[in-house]
Structure formats: structure tokens, C-alpha cells
Amino acid sequence: MYGLGILKGLRVTFKHFIDTYIDDFKWGVRRYTTVEGFEARQSPSTTGLVTIQYPEEKMAVPERFRFVPFLVVNDDDHPEAPGHIWCTSCGICAKVCPPQCIWIVRGKDPETGRPVPEPQAFYIDIDICMNCGYCAEFCPFDAIKMDHDYELSSYDRTGHHVYDKEKLSKPLSYWQTIAPTRAEQERLAREAKEAAKSAKKGKRGRG
């Protein structure tokens, strides 16, 4: 029958409309004022309205969500090198970046002038970045990761949207908070690599 699809669609909308009132009745004000209420509204099993009151409420993003890269640095309480940046300035991320929005200046030893494995400057134009995640995938040192921070609007494009090394740097603990599973997998992989390296060295030493 002509218009049946429209009626079916309206039925779904109406069902959600009614379910929202049922949920409101069950939860009371807690549905809009507590963390549990927010989680219930965002859960796949919710039946009523899923709308959130942005910016007061923010949608939880999945662990694999990616929005603009950041550079990993050691936490301030690191026993040997607090704040040390993991990037070795190898330049691989800049090479693989499809829109070429990464710019790195390799660090130099002030006395010898020889290159050091650390960037002197590191810039990403986040307006050009398309959040593909290639830089993070290809970095051999786990030094660049995709962030979850999607609130980047500003009135000044030139001043605020070219991120420098300082703005890009975030501690490892931050990465562990936003992507605990990936961070743990990477930690285990790094440890396995280190163990294999030491075993190889030991073998050479004996040989």
C-alpha cells in the first residue's frame, strides 16, 4: 500500500517517544542527573530517547576511536626520564601521512652538531589531518597515537590548529586511560621485543 513505509517509520518514532516516558517514569530525575542514568541512556539496550545534553554531557567514544594524533611522553613520575618524548624523529610518520600534514625538525646535539634521536620541533596541521591513523600504525616506537579529543573548534585557525610539540605531547598514562587494551598489548609486545634482543645479545656474548 502506498505510504505504508512512512507509517512503519512513524510507528518506530512513536514507540521511542512512549518508551522515553516509560524510562523517565522508571528512573525519575536520575536518568538525567546521574552517571548511571547517562550510561543507561547510552547503552545499546536503552529503549527510550538516546539524545544527550551536549556539551554538559559527552558521548563515550569507543577505544578505537581516532581523532588527531598525539605524541607519547613519559609520565612525570618516571624513575629515569620523566617527560622524555618517545619519538626518535625517524620521520616515518611524516613520510606515510597521506595529506602530508606532519612536519618534523630533527634534534641536534648543541656541542657536536650531530643528530640526536629526538625531535627539536614537531608540527601537525590538524585541519589537514584526515584521522586515518597511518602515522600511529607505522611508528616503530609506539610514539604517536590517535587521540579521543574531538572538541577542536576555535575562532583562530592559524594560531590554534597547527599543533606544536608541546601541544601534541601527552603522557603514557593518558594513552593507557583512553585505550587500555591497545596500551597493554603494546606494552607486552615491547617487553617481548626487549627480551628477544637481550637473548640475542647474550648468545653473541657467549659465541
Name the site residues for ligand SF4 (rule: CB under 6 A).
Answer: 69, 87-93, 97-99, 101-102, 104, 124, 129-135, 139, 141, 143-144
CB 178, min distance to ligand SF4, A? 16
CA distances from 44 to 22, 30, 39, 187 (A): 17, 19, 10, 31
Nearer to ligand SF4, 30 or 66 (CB): 66
CB 84, min distance to ligand SF4, A? 13
Count of CB atoms within 10 A of residue 145's CB?
A: 25
Nearer to ligand SF4, 99 or 115 (CB): 99
CB 95, min distance to ligand SF4, A? 8
CB 163, min distance to ligand SF4, A? 10
Instruction: Report the phi/psi class of residue 34: left, alpha or beta, with left for phi > 0 and alpha for psi in -120 to 50.
Output: beta
CB 69, min distance to ligand SF4, A? 5
Contact 52, 58 (CB under 8 A): yes
Give dist(CA 194, CA 106) in Å, integer.
25
Nearer to ligand SF4, 20 or 179 (CB): 179
Query: Grid cell 643528530 — which residue?
Result: 115
Nearer to ligand SF4, 39 or 63 (CB): 63
Report helix angle 4-27 to 35-42, nearest 10: 160
Nearer to ligand SF4, 32 or 138 (CB): 138
